[in-house]
């Protein structure tokens, strides 16, 4: 498996500390099939984690799992909870989330296969920073290559780290990777979300203060710990520093995982992957936001730019719809799939999501368009914010975005009183059970 390296190769002869801070790719181009020895030779030895919190604060790193929460605040919250536990001090736990529930995302597994030690380094650093004795990396049960890569990496490092590094294999499922579900799984063996508060930082795995960060976030912590915030900020924009991993798929010549500067133009990333004319671009995965071709041409991947279109880069998924597909049908497929991911715990999710999917399917087929549109809005509003986890919220967001962005297309269905020519065209969306093959570079 080769990795697309649109920005050229790193110069491996340079000592790690003096390596060009503006070079891309950064996270994913450590020596392929890396051994711990070659990894350490490449990146240099691991520091002790003592300066990590301060450097992370200065770096401006935000979580790369989707929510984009400032990582330094999470570290602070875990430290505060540990301090508040007083004499019966509850030692914190570090959890790296590599479950990658987003069907169209491949960046976490790519990272775990290509640079497992960078992720493990970040976990060791974070554990040292918050005083954790255990750090657990969680991956999905169906990721055989990822599990093999991590098992080998863990075997190589055995007893070299002060923290106990562990691997947990989580049952596959979209909501199983949600933060509270992961904590629930590690504490009690149930891979389903719980209500918050308490937040994992306050009371997580085994009731201990728990730092849960995405594996890409961990890999970034490994670099911030080694080279400091200033070096780390050498890539990306001032407001959105660092690099981000994008998984670009759909109507593109070279679908795959791309590492680009955070905050860079979406257009540039689409050009790298060879995107052609499109009916719409989904940014941020199935909790994400649809952009028209015109919007995609002028949007940046930074928070401020995407917020203008009501979106965020989320977990870095970018899907390009073919020009002649029906965007409403594609959206209905996703809505139906999301409705089947419910853990079945909360009424508004169990009832609301299938109702939303049904309304979207009516829109795709052009059946009673006005009423279906009213229903989709009504039920999205009704489900939003009323589950234990964010599945209803994410579904509502996705559906509202589809209705807004594809309003002109909706109008066509209304006038036709039926579907458009795009109905039934082959889907480019990744939905488990109907896999679309993804090439690497």
Partner 1 sequence: MGMRMTVNPIRCDGRGLCAVLLPELVTLDDWGYPVIEQADVPAHLEAQARRAASACPVLALSLTCVASPRPARSISPRSVALR
Q: Residues in the site for partner 1, rule: CB under 8 A?
A: 194-195, 345-349, 351-352, 355, 374, 377-379, 381-382, 384-388
Comparing CB distances to partner 1, the nearer of 268 and 368 is 368
- Tokens read off for 121: 């380094």
Comparing CB distances to partner 1, the nearer of 9 and 370 is 370
Comparing CB distances to partner 1, the nearer of 347 and 424 is 347
Tell me the closest approach of the beta carbon of residue 376 to partner 1, in angstroms. Answer: 11
Taking the alpha carbons at both ends of the chain, their separation in whole angstroms is: 9
Comparing CB distances to partner 1, the nearer of 321 and 391 is 391
Q: What one-character-per-residue DSSP string does 12-52 give?
A: TTS-GGGS-TT-SS-SS-SPTT--HHHHHHHH-----STTH
Tell me the closest approach of the beta carbon of residue 356 to partner 1, in angstroms. Answer: 11
Interatomic CA distance for residues 397 and 290, integer angstroms: 10
Interatomic CA distance for residues 124 and 300, integer angstroms: 33
* Whether the Cβ atoms of residue 261 and residue 236 lie closer than 8 Å to each other: yes
The DSSP call for residue 199 is P
Tell me the closest approach of the beta carbon of residue 345 to partner 1, in angstroms. Answer: 5
* Whether the Cβ atoms of residue 102 and residue 178 lie closer than 8 Å to each other: no
With 0-12 / 13-18 / 19 or more C-beta atoms within 10 angstroms meaning exposed / middle / buried, residue 353 is buried
Interatomic CA distance for residues 410 and 402, integer angstroms: 10
Tell me the closest approach of the beta carbon of residue 252 to partner 1, in angstroms. Answer: 37
Tell me the closest approach of the beta carbon of residue 74 to partner 1, in angstroms. Answer: 21
Interatomic CA distance for residues 77 and 213, integer angstroms: 13
Interatomic CA distance for residues 6 and 57, integer angstroms: 30
Comparing CB distances to partner 1, the nearer of 71 and 341 is 341
Comparing CB distances to partner 1, the nearer of 310 and 348 is 348
| Residue with token string 């933060």 | 179
Comparing CB distances to partner 1, the nearer of 336 and 386 is 386
Identify any residues that bridge with 243 across adjacent strands, giving them in sequence order.
261
Tell me the closest approach of the beta carbon of residue 384 to partner 1, in angstroms. Answer: 7
Comparing CB distances to partner 1, the nearer of 347 and 417 is 347
Tell me the closest approach of the beta carbon of residue 392 to partner 1, in angstroms. Answer: 9
Q: What one-character-per-residue DSSP string does 243-256 give?
A: EEEEEEEESBSS-E
Tell me the closest approach of the beta carbon of residue 138 to partner 1, in angstroms. Answer: 22
């Amino acid at each position: 498996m080769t990795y697309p390296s649109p920005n050229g190769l790193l110069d491996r002869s340079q000592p790690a500390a003096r390596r060009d801070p503006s070079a891309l790719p950064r996270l994913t181009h450590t020596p392929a099939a890396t051994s711990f020895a070659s990894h350490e030779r490449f990146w240099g030895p691991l520091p002790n984690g003592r300066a990590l919190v301060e450097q992370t604060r200065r770096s401006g790193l935000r979580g790369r799992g989707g929510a984009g929460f400032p990582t330094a605040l999470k570290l602070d919250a875990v430290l505060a909870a540990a301090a508040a536990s007083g004499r019966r001090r509850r030692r914190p736990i570090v959890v790296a989330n590599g479950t990658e529930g987003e069907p169209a995302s491949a960046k976490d597994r790519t990272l775990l296969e290509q640079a497992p030690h960078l992720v493990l380094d970040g976990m060791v650093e974070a554990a040292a920073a918050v005083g954790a004795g255990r750090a657990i990396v969680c991956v999905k049960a169906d990721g055989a290559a990822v599990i093999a890569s991590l098992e080998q990496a863990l075997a190589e490092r055995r007893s070299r780290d002060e923290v106990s590094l562990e691997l947990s294999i989580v049952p596959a499922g979209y909501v199983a990777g949600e933060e509270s579900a992961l904590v629930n799984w590690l504490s009690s063996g149930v891979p389903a979300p719980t209500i918050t508060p308490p937040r994992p930082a306050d009371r997580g795995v085994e009731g201990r203060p728990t730092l849960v960060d995405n594996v890409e976030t961990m890999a970034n912590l490994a670099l911030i710990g080694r080279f400091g915030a200033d070096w780390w900020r050498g890539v990306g924009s001032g407001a959105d520093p660092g690099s981000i991993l994008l998984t670009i798929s759909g109507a593109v010549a070279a679908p795959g995982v791309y590492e680009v500067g955070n905050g860079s133009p979406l257009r540039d990333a689409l050009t790298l992957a060879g995107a052609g004319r499109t009916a719409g671009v989904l940014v941020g995965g199935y909790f994400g936001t649809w952009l028209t071709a015109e919007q995609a041409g002028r949007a940046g991947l930074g928070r401020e730019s995407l917020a203008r279109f009501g979106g965020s880069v989320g977990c870095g998924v970018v899907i390009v719809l073919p020009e002649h597909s029906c965007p409403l049908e594609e959206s209905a497929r996703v809505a139906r799939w999301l409705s089947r991911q419910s853990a079945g715990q909360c009424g508004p999710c169990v009832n609301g999501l299938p109702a939303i999917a049904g309304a979207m399917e009516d829109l795709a087929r052009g059946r009673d368009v006005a009423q279906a549109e009213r229903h989709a809005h009504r039920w999205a509003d009704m489900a939003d914010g009323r589950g234990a986890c964010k599945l209803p919220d994410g579904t509502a967001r996705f559906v509202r975005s589809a209705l807004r962005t594809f309003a002109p297309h909706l109008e066509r269905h209304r006038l036709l009183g039926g579907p458009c020519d795009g109905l039934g065209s082959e889907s480019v969306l990744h939905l488990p059970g109907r896999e679309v093959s993804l090439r690497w570079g």
